[in-house]
Structures are given as structure tokens and as C-alpha cells.
Structure 1
Amino acid sequence: MADPLAGIPLASIRVFEAAARLKSFTRAAEELGMTQAAVSWQIKALEGRLGQSLFRRLPREVQPTEAGERLSRAATEAMTLLRRAVSDLTEADEHILSITTLATLATQWMAPRLGAFQVANPGLAVRLDTNPNLLDLSREGFDVGIRSGHGDWPGMESQLLMPSVFTPLCSPAMAQRLNLKEPRDLLQAPRIGMEKEWAAWFAAAGLTGGGHPATKLTADYQVLEVAAALGDQGVALASPILFAREIAAGMLVRPFRQTVSFHTGYYLVWPEGRRRSPKIKRFRDWLVAQTDADPAIVEARAET
């Protein structure tokens, strides 16, 4: 059996329901944000598809015909259920903020601060995911992401949070053992991380060539490389922003001020058109305030 709704746009049913309920094409147009002519056209198109008149046009109002009354009751019930379902989904969605970010940034910077955000927003639960890839946020069920790059991802809007800078970090014991006085001293140091990134840092420090020996260890995540440095395994090239607590506590030493950047920065990203989502706006405003109040970020901004 053919579907009787086949070929009938939902928009026409929506317009019909409003006109029948309000008994006026003009008031229906005002409610729906349409012109009266557009409402009239939609009704005529629906009557043409159904092959019968749905309204009696009176001087100051319209009255549903018998067929219109039957359709009106069903349409009002259906639209009420649809509005309720959409409202429930929207309300539920607004109570969960799903964030995807980078593992080191999540561990070192985001997680220690999220508690304050949740205290300030008790009705909003946070789901934090770490994934190195820039996902299709909407398709994967995420509201926002934090990624490193240039801030120009297709289909995304973005907000710069902090510069992406790297500098040598090591344990106090390693710094003393190596007697680090100038960048050249690192040419013979046991280094942790990718050689090409170290070469970029040496070039920024005015030195050419990576020197020897080669790096001792590389890892998928910056936090793992710094963990090796904390264990006196060598000197890691890492972010002075993300490891500011360890530097302040004396667990890590930053022997030189020279930094290098491999990306323009870390960005908060969200799907185009969702800028006004209340939960995204609250999180964006909170996150920007956090970065503006972070001394390590303020310092890095001044240096880059």
C-alpha cells in the first residue's frame, strides 16, 4: 500500500496546522515567520495534492472544512508530539558537554581545571575524550574539540586559546650532570623526541645540525616523553605551558628561554552554526578566561 504522506512536505503540514489552529493565514504567517502569501501558497499546494478544499475563506478569518477539521486534529496532535520529542532531545543534549582533545593537553592542563567549570555549571555534565585526529564533531557526537594547527578547519569555527611552543625540559639532576650553560651544550646531550623537531629548535637557537648522539626515545604523546625526562633519561622538547606546574615545583628545569613552534597554536573548535549553543558559549567563555589568567600562557603570548 502506498504511503499517503508520500510527496507531501512536512512544511505544508506545519503551515496547515498553524492556520487551522489560529483560523487565520495572517496570524499563521506571523507565528511561523513567513509572509501571508507564502502561507496561502502552501495551503493551496496541499489542497491540490489532496484533491479537496481544507478551508472556507471568510472575510476576516478562515474556517476548516469537514476534511480540514479531521486533518487539523491529527496534524495538531502530530506536531505537538514532534515538538515535545525535539524539545526533549534538545534539553537532554544541553545537559551534556562532549569534548575531544589531545591527550597531553587533557592530562596536563584541561583535567585539573574542569572541576571548576563543573562547579560553576552544576547542571552540565562533561565527557572528555582524547583523540589525536580532528574528528567530524557532529557525526562522532562531540560538541567541541581542542586541536593544534592554524585554526582553519573546513566546516569548523575556532577560537585561539594558546600558542603552541616547545622548549628543552629536564630533571634538575640531568641539568646539573650536563652542566647546561648554553644551547650548544645540548648537541651532545641525550635527547628525547623527534630529531627533526630538535633540529628546528637548534636552528631557532642559532645552531645548525642536530649533533650527536641521536635522540634516545620518542613517544606518541608528549606527556610520555616528559615522563622519561622526569626519570633522568634525557632532555625532552616539550611545552612550558602544559608542564608549568612541574617547572614551578622544581621537578623540571627549563635551562633556556628559546622556544620553537610547530603549529600556530591550540584552538577550541566547534561545528559551524553552533556558536550560540548555550553550553558551547559557556564553555568557550570559561576556557578563554582560564587561558587569559594562566601566567605561562600570558608569558608565551608575549614571547611569540
Structure 2
Amino acid sequence: MLPPLKALPVFEAVARLNSFSLAAQELNLSQSAVSHQIRALENHLGESLFQRQGRYLSLTTEGKHYLDAISSSLSQIARASNLIRGESETKVRIAVYSSFAVCWLMPRLPDLMRRHPNLDISITMTHSSPELSDKTADCFITTDKDKRGFTFTPIYRERIFPVCSPAFYEAMKNTLDVHSDTDMANLLEKQPEKLGDFPLVTSFGIYNEYTEDWRRWFSEKGKILPDELQLHKFSHLLLTYEAAKYSLGIALINDYMFNEDKTKDDLIRLPTHHIETDDAFYFAYKYSRRNEPGIAEVKRWLINESAGLGLGE
């Protein structure tokens, strides 16, 4: 038996806003009307959906499960109704892995908005790959590539390479007695282990283990990670970028974080080899939403941008 349908958007609003009064304002109802709808829904289900402790309101376990089950359906009903009325869906929520968001997407957002001024974009940044769910976002830039009902379009296969600040690079050249990029490239081709003579910056975030990034970099040339290393350890790739920028050492970062057009105060890519990580980035969205104009516009723009920069898979 269907629940009281009028109560479902009321329940969703209260759960999302965590407040009866805010939900009442959003829905243009009285607070007592909101309470009545929630009570009718709870009576129908035979379960309490909210836990009230003084002024604090939270979902019960049953309430969380129910919200997960109905929120996608409510969104689909709203989108279908908008399309029937001839209204294009221009609000697009994008969930993005943090370093990709900060270093690659944000600098390019003005171009996206200029090309598609109809879009109303909101961005959620996540420390790890975002949860693929309508309650999180409408579309995603993620390293996940396998979830039922979703479409995954490859946009970038990750590779990492050594970088350092201009000042650090000059100090390296003096220490190694080389006088040009060509000389440095020749030296590092023959003796990549020379980088181990300098402080190295390592990130936990790439392989979920400190120094694994550098171990793989040395291994690419048949070398073993030197025993005696001065290492600076950081949890996230964004922090290794900043550490290198402020001359703490040589860091391994990837294409989307590196921009050769930046000012002399930023980073220099060392003239030596790169390695590919195990990660690829995908633009993901529900297959059932593939024809929504907003998602389609973001997808086209994103693929063109990544292809133009040579980041595509």
C-alpha cells in the first residue's frame, strides 16, 4: 500500500534541513502542518523516522534507510515533471575528488560558465572518491568505475612525475654541478638515484602508504629506494604540492596539478621519467539521467577540456 504521498516531500525536506521549522518555511506550510504530515507517515509505516532530543533532531536508522530509498524517486518525479512543462534542468551538482577540484576544475569553471551561462553549478569536494548517489550529487568526477545503473566516461589516466620549486632546482644544479636542463636530464637518465641525495616529499594519498610513490618511481628504472632518505610525509597530494612549492623538497605530482604556464614562483618539472599510477578518473552519472541537458552540457565540456590538454585515456 502506498504511503500518504503528500507526506513524502515533507519528510525529505525535514530530513535534508534537519529542522521542522526550516522545512515549513521552504514548503510554505505551518510547522503544525509539517508535524501532522510526518506523524501521518510514521503512523502508516509503523516506525519512528526522527529522533528528538530537546532541540536536536536526527533521523532514526529506519528514517535513514527510508530517505535513501525515496529521495532518488522524488528527484526523478520532479525532473520528469519539469521536462513535461518544458523546463530544462539547469541546476547541476558535481561531486569531485578534492585535488582535482582545486587544481584542475576550479581554474576552468569561468570557461564553463561563459560557454553555458544557463547552468547553475554547485560543487562538493570530497577527500576520497565521492559516494555515487543522488543524495550526494547529480554527476561525479571519481576514480570509481563500477556501479550498477551508472555510466562512466574516462577523462584522465593518472601519471606522476618529480617537481620542485625554481629555487630548489637551482640549488640542485649547483650541488650536482650541472648547468642546463639537458645536463640534468642526461644525469638523471643514467643515475635517477641522485634524487635520493635531496629531501623528498611523499604522499599517503596516492597508494595509501608513505614512500610507495617514490619506491615505484625508482623501481621504474630498476633502482631500489635508497635506505638513507630525508622524507617529508603528507597525507594528501595537495599538501605535497604546497610542500614542494615552498622548497621543502622534491615531490611527485600529476598532470592536472601541474601547469607549465604558471609564474616563476611555482613549480618546475624535473627533466626525468614519469610513472603511471593505478588510478583513472571518470565522469559518472546515472544512465537514467543521460538525457538531462545540464549533465549533458557538463559532460561535453569536460571531455573537450581533458582531450585538449592531453589528459584523456
TM-score (norm 2): 0.61
Equivalent of 1:112 in 107, 115, 118:
107
> Structure 1: how far apart are the matches of 2:84 and 2:249?
51
* Count of aligned positions: 218
Q: Equivalent residue for 2:198? A: 189
Kindly, what percent of the aligned residue pairs are identical?
21
Aligned position for 1:52: none
CA distance in 1, matches of 2:131, 2:84: 20
Give how far 1:278 is off.
Answer: 1.6
Equivalent in 206, 216, 230 of residue 245 of structure 2: 230
The secondary structure found in structure 2 opposite 1:209 is coil
Tell me by how many angstroms 1:247 deviates.
Answer: 6.1
Q: Where in structure 2 are the equivalents of 1:170-189 lying within 5 Å?
A: 170-179=164-173, 181-182=187-188, 183-189=192-198
1:215 aligns with 2:224: no
2:296 corresponds, among 278, 281, 289, to: 281
Q: Distance in 2 between matches of 1:107 and 1:85?
A: 30
Q: CA deviation at 1:90?
A: 8.5
Distance (Å, rounded) in 2 between the aligned partners of 1:258 and 1:95? 43
Distance 2:216 2:78 in 1: 57
Aligned pair partner of 2:129 in 124, 134, 149: 134
1:125 has 2:141 as partner: no
Larger deviation, residues 98-107 vs 179-188: 179-188
Preserved contact between residue 97 and residue 127 of structure 1 (Cα < 8 Å)? yes
Instruction: Tell me how far 1:209 sits from its aligned partner.
Output: 2.5
Give the 3 Å change call, closer, same or farther, for CA 156–215 of structure 1 in structure 2: farther
Distance in 2 separating the partners of 1:173 and 1:90: 60
1:244 Cα deviation from its structure 2 partner: 1.7
Question: 2: CA distance between counterparts of 1:157 and 1:293?
Answer: 22
C-alpha change, 1:102 and 1:174, in structure 2 (3 Å) is: same
Partner residue, 1:68? none
Question: Contact conserved, 1:246 with 1:252, CA < 8 A, in 2?
Answer: no
Aligned-pair CA distance for 1:271: 2.1
* Aligned with residue 156 of structure 1, among 131, 145, 150: 150
Question: For residues 285 and 139 of structure 1, do their structure 2 counterparts lie closer, same or farther at Cα, with a shift above 3 Å needed?
Answer: closer
Q: Which residue of 2 aligns with 1:144?
A: 139
- Show CA shifts across 1:148-173 (max 9, x none): 35x33444211111120101110122
The structure with more strand, counted as a fraction of residues: 2
| Counterpart mapping for 1:244-263 below 5 A | 244-245=259-260, 249=264, 251-263=266-278
Task: State the Cα deviation string for residues 66-90 of structure 1 (Å, max 9, x = none).
Answer: xxxxxxxxxxxxxxxxx99952498
For 1:192 and 1:84, locate their aligned partners in 2 and report how far apart those are by CA, in whole Å: 49
User: Whose radius of gyration is greater, 1 or 2?
Assistant: 1
- Choose the corresponding residue for 2:81, options 84, 87, 96: 87
Please state how far the C-alpha of 1:98 moved relative to its aligned partner.
0.5
* SS at structure 2 position matched to 1:140: coil
Amino acid at match of 2:196: L
Listed one character per residue, the Cα deviations across residues 14-44 of structure 1 (whole Å, up to 9, x for unaligned) are xxxxxxxxxxxxxxxxxxxxxxxxxxxxxxx
C-alpha distance 210-101 of structure 1, shift in aligned 2 (>3 A)? farther
What CA RMSD, in Å, does the superposition of the two structures yield over aligned residues?
3.0
User: Which residue in 2 is equivalent to 1:168?
Assistant: 162
Q: Unmatched 5+ residue regions in structure 2?
A: 6-76, 174-183, 203-209
> Which residues of structure 1 form unaligned runs of 5+?
1-5, 11-82
Q: Is 2:299 aligned against 1:290? A: no
Q: Distance in 2 between matches of 1:270 and 1:210?
A: 44
Q: 1:199 is paired with a residue of what secondary structure?
A: helix
Quick check: 106-115 or 248-257, which moved more? 248-257
Code of the aligned partner of 1:126: I
Looking at structure 1, the residues matched to 79 and 250 of structure 2 have their Cα atoms a distance apart, in angstroms, of: 56
